[in-house]
Amino acid sequence: MSLEFVGWEIRQAERFNRLLRFLPRYRTDRRWNARLIQTLLRAWDAVPRPFPPDDELTVEDRLIKGGDRPLKLRLIRPKGAPRGVYLTFHGGAWVMGTPRFDDRLNRAIAGNCRVAVASVDHHLAIDDRLDLAIADAHRAAEWAVTAGAEFGSRNIIVGGQSSGAHLAACALLHLRDLQTDARLSGAALFYGAYDMAGSPGLRNSSNRTLLIDGQAAFRNLQRLTSGLTDEERRNPRLSPLYADFSGLPPALFIAGELDPVFDDSIRMADRWNKANSNAELVAVPQGVHGFDRFPLAIARKTHRHLHRTINEWLRTDEHEARRHERQPCSQV
């Protein structure tokens, strides 16, 4: 199911990028603008808006109790029994963002793949407490295991975009290490940063990269891990790139070739394949950071490919489950 882009799609993205060059670059290392944007996002969240009418989907906000504070999830699910849980983490440089901002993308996944999509409202590290955001990712992963009894399926897929892809990778590694009876079906990771010491591509990036300032993004990583050496930043607890990759499910990595963190996806896919031979890397020509949020053909094609891939992962697991059910019990 490899994905290719044709000439007119690439040219459309290139024309769009010419417009982006006139926009200011977002500086993720500045906390005052993260607070401002987050205030606007929360105000947007608070505006009463009925969920778009859809006979096939329901939505609810759910709290996971325990720990120092409840953890909020936004749950979009199909009516009837879902085929599994898609646990996803929003982007926003670890310091801003809300699950509701991803409703459009998550509704499409819930509807086209018939899964319960749980988007995590994790701790925002405006206080530079990245450890609390990772702890929330672990708590959400543990909830996904228990949700299997409610939904009647043990299948779990993790996903995320940008900083959310980093948290999704942390959650997946935690799930693998829990050694539960949950079935890890796949990981869908969009343009994540997986090396908290900064990948070579990010370190060498320009402050003129489109949409985000590459050097500011590197400084944001340093700020989130202040007081640590680069070696300590590469601890697998913080940097999934350096974790043990054995026993991980199929993965789909998607990143734009113009993204300052493009290196991270290349390196993750390479290590994933060396350990498991089951990762696909989609390198999107003329793709900037967050390209899939724009009205572009490369964005639509990428999300269609995501839906096909999720469905294929689930079909494979469902077929395997039926095969085991048909096997006779061994005689002792």
What is the structure's pLDDT at 327?
66
Q: Per-10-residue mean pLDDT for the chain, 332 residues long?
A: 90 97 93 92 82 82 87 95 97 96 96 97 96 97 94 96 98 96 97 98 92 96 97 98 98 98 98 98 98 98 98 88 65 37
CB atoms within 10 A of CB 68: 8
pLDDT in the model for residue 45: 84
Give residue limits of the domains in the chain.
Answer: 7-46+53-321
Distance of CA 75 to the CA centre of its chain: 16
User: Which tokens sit at 248?
Assistant: 């991980």
Distance CA 263, CA 200 (A): 7
Strands 71-78 and 57-64: antiparallel
Residue 324's pLDDT is what?
67
Dist. CA 85–CA 128, nearest whole Å:
30
What is the end-to-end Cα distance of the chain in Å, rounded?
43
Q: HSE of 205 in the Cβ direction (CA atoms, 13 Å)?
A: 28
Residue 68: the pLDDT is: 80
Give me the residue label for tokens 């983490």. Answer: 89
Per-residue model confidence (pLDDT) at position 1: 54
For residue 135, give both structure tokens: 């702890």
pLDDT at position 35 is: 92
Domain 7-46+53-321 -> CATH class:
alpha beta
Cβ contact 307:108 at 8 Å: yes
- pTM beyond 0.75: the answer is yes
Going 239 to 242 to 226 to 33, the CA torsion angle's sign is negative
Tokens of 166: 């980093």
Whether the Cβ atoms of residue 200 and residue 260 lie closer than 8 Å to each other: no
Q: Would the CA dihedral through 239, 243, 247, 252 be positive or negative?
A: positive
**pLDDT on residue 29:** 94
CA dist 273 and 250 (Å) reads: 9
Q: Report the alpha-carbon distance of residue 23 to residue 290 in Å, rounded.
A: 15
> What does the block give as tokens for 175?
């799930």
CA angle, corner 160, sides to 167 and 126, nearest 5? 50
Nearest one of 160, 149, 151 to 99, comparing CA atoms:
160
For the chain, where are the alpha helices, taking DSSP H only?
A: 7-20, 31-46, 103-113, 130-151, 163-178, 200-203, 214-224, 230-233, 262-276, 297-326
Print burial letters for 225-244: b (CB count within 10 Å at least 16), e (below 16). beeeeeeebbeeebbbbbbe
C-alpha angle with apex 239: 233 to 243, nearest 5 degrees? Answer: 120
